[in-house]
Amino acid sequence: MENSKEIFNKILSTRVWRENSLQTILKRYPKGGKGLYRHDELVEEYKRLVSKNEISKSKLIEERIRMKPTRTQSGVATVTVMMKPFMCPGKCIFCPNEINMPKSYIASEPGAQRALKNNFDPFLQTYNRIKALQNIGHNSDKIELIILGGTCSVYPEKYIIWFVKRCFDGMNSFGKTSFELDAKGIDEITWEQLSQVQKYNETTVCRNVGLVLETRPDYITKDEVIRFRKLGATKIQIGIQSLDDSILKLNMRGHRVKESKKAFELLRLAGFKIHAHWMPNLYGSDVKKDIKDYKRLWSKEFRPDELKIYPTSIIRNTILEKYFNEGKYKPYTHQQLLDLFVNILPTTPRYVRLTRIVRDIPSNEILSGNKSTNFRQIAEKEIKRRGKNIQDIRSREIKGESVKWENLELETIKYETSVSQEYFISYKTKDTDKICSFLRLSIPEKETYIEDLKNSSIIREVHVYGNVVNIGNESKGESQHLGLGKKMIQIAEHISKKEGFKKISVISAIGTKEYYSKRGFIKSPLYMTKSI
């Protein structure tokens, strides 16, 4: 790579760094006299020069050449994979049903395109996604694996065990020591084989710090929740869509609100993070009804930890398209949708993370209605203009900013659910209210059905923000290495003792078991526990 040292020196020495600064520098040093160097080429050359001691390792250079830095500023690198097309029990009128896609997904969506490119192979999807993140400068030590497929609970058990196992094979392939891949077929797979690759992942390079599955409320049973834990899951995405039985019936959702309530109860008693999907503008609803329905989300029967808001879209070859053509259904106008978001978003509790607002469906796939995938930014601007603000977790994340202990303060939010008292323990900046870390502690008030959790409080999540840094490495000023996780666990233990518990458990991901072991937790069949 020509002039590489000059390029990196210029990147390092530029005092005011703007969005287009890197492109401006690269234009001065064109590749072969024409064209620009790609991000992956810059990253590779930087690593080569550092390894040969031709330039010094620089955090500033790494930040400035990293492509799409927000992908790892939440503290983990997210890898999304998709299971093969399979039957779905739902007959929802709004749901696309493409032959080559799992129910509810469209082939032109970014994640679906990656799945198709890899022929839905779990190993290739996982391995290639991690490699792509590394190539544009992201650290991949901590992987949150999201497995999509509509309703995972209806897939054959052998298939889902095999799929999860092969995803772990993909992560384990980046290990420092040789790892022998056992590519057995679906019919040959066993729980024991999955357990073996999970065991390896506890101490390898690319560790799984979170495993997410998605399903329907009416498929959540005690046995299914236990199966989720055996697979290594820590978070469940669950499509509730509406909390109005009449709206659910009109849209042929196939379940009622009572099934959603039961699902939340069973998942919370098992310590899972609950990531709900909610859909405004369903057939039969209106803005006033949606505002009322959003308020129901925060009643004690629900209160999800994370939420995706997916305004209903009219997709080709759906029953909803027929209703639209017949004049029975009208999508919200831009102003109606904006008014809805201005009313509901500021009411979102501080302990909730709004992970997505508006689904990333290509505009050419939407027949009518909102086609702006950046509607969150549009709504936030209008909310600010009206003198309001949003306080959800994502709006307050510290991202890549440097922090010091003396600038932080502790905040504890206590709230009630139908089965527990919940504590949201967080550290935030004093002046700017930016959240640096949080812990979710559950104090059960109803007897659990899981033996590991008998007479125990439950840590449902520990999360520390900041750019992903290598496991075991120190990095001054980054919230991941201020000891915030350790401090919050101590606070959770103190609260649990005060509430009369002599035992505390954690729903540990496979790759975080070593972290909790160092803090006195021991492995039980499905969780990690500690006497207090």
Domain that holds residue 108: 69-215
Decide if pLDDT at 473 tops 80.
Answer: no
If you average pLDDT over residues 28-35, what whole number do you get?
73
pLDDT per position as a tens digit, 149-175:
889 999 999 999 999 999 999 999 987
| DSSP 8-state symbol, 476 | T
Band of residue 181 on the pLDDT scale cut at 50, 70, 90: low
Query: Is 187 inside a domain boundary?
Result: yes
* Residue 482, phi then psi, degrees to nearest 5: -100, 0
Domain count, the chain: 4
Decide if pLDDT at 92 tops 70.
Answer: yes
For residue 138, the model assigns a pLDDT of 72
For residue 67, the model assigns a pLDDT of 60
390/246 same-domain check: yes
61/74 same-domain check: no
271/208 same-domain check: no
Query: Is 484 inside a domain boundary?
Result: yes
169/263 same-domain check: no
Query: Is 222 inside a domain boundary?
Result: no
302/175 same-domain check: no
Nearest to 111 by CA among 314, 362, 326: 362
285/302 same-domain check: yes
**Three-state SS at 505:** strand
Query: Is 231 inside a domain boundary?
Result: no
Structure-token pair, residue 173: 């392939």
177/271 same-domain check: no
If you average pLDDT over residues 282-304, what whole number do you get?
98
pLDDT per position as a tens digit, 478-530:
555 578 999 999 999 999 999 999 999 999 999 999 999 999 999 999 999 99
29/119 same-domain check: no
Identify the CATH number of the domain in which residue 377 sits: 3.30.750.200
Of 24, 46, 65, the one marking the end of a domain is 65
**What is the chain's mean pLDDT, rounded?**
90
Band of residue 213 on the pLDDT scale cut at 50, 70, 90: very high
Identify the CATH number of the domain in which residue 410 sits: 3.40.630.30
If you average pLDDT over residues 366-392, what whole number do you get?
92
Please name the residue ranges forming H helices in 202-256.
222-231, 245-250
246/379 same-domain check: yes
If you average pLDDT over residues 80-91, what whole number do you get?
92
Query: Is 220 inside a domain boundary?
Result: no
For residue 467, the model assigns a pLDDT of 46
For residue 466, the model assigns a pLDDT of 64
Query: Is 229 inside a domain boundary?
Result: no
Give one DSSP letter per residue of 350-389, joined into a string: TT-EEEEES----GGGB-SS---TTHHHHHHHHHHHTT--
Decide if pLDDT at 469 tops 60.
Answer: no
Query: Is 204 inside a domain boundary?
Result: yes
- The CB density around residue 287, as the number of other CB atoms within 10 Å, is 16
246/386 same-domain check: yes
35/80 same-domain check: no
Query: Is 225 inside a domain boundary?
Result: no
pLDDT per position as a tens digit, 329-346:
999 999 999 999 999 999
Looking at the chain, the whole-number percentage of residues with pLDDT higher than 70 is 92
Decide if pLDDT at 470 tops 50.
Answer: no
Of 362, 396, 430, the one marking the end of a domain is 396
Q: What is the pTM of this model?
A: 0.86
Segment (H or E) for 257 = helix 257-269
Of 396, 414, 440, the one marking the end of a domain is 396
CA distances from 331 to 177, 357, 370, 483 (A): 55, 16, 8, 48
488/420 same-domain check: yes
